[in-house]
């Protein structure tokens, strides 16, 4: 079975550079339409079920505001 994952983005740390969106081959991430308190529109996980925990988003984030977790198969549903 394919590996399942979860990407968690800290909305307040994200400045909206969207490098993570471009790095996500599974198209899990997208621009959030709601701004954070600094006025930036952060990235958000919109297709969470597609995440494979590859870590590409984590690797390219210049502000270290993304954490990626591998999920157990039971949690993937």
- Every domain of the chain and the residues it spans: 4-72
The CA–CA distances, whole Å, from 35 to 4, 6, 12 equal: 28, 22, 9
Q: Per-residue DSSP letters for 26-74?
A: T--EEE-SS--TTS---EEES-GGG-----HHHHH-TT--EEEEEEPGG
Q: Which fold has domain 4-72?
A: Alpha-Beta Plaits (3.30.70)
pLDDT higher than 70, residue 74: no
Least confident among 21-25, 52-56, 72-76? 72-76
pLDDT in tens, 6-45: 999 999 999 999 999 999 999 999 999 999 999 999 999 9
- pTM score, whole prediction: 0.86
């Amino acid at each position: 079975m394919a590996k399942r994952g979860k990407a968690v983005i800290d909305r307040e740390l994200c400045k909206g550079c969207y490098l993570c969106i471009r790095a996500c081959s599974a198209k899990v991430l997208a621009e959030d339409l709601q701004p954070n308190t600094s006025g930036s529109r952060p990235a958000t996980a919109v297709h969470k079920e597609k995440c494979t925990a590859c870590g590409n988003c984590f690797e390219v984030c210049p502000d270290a505001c993304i954490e990626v977790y591998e999920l157990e198969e039971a949690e993937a549903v």
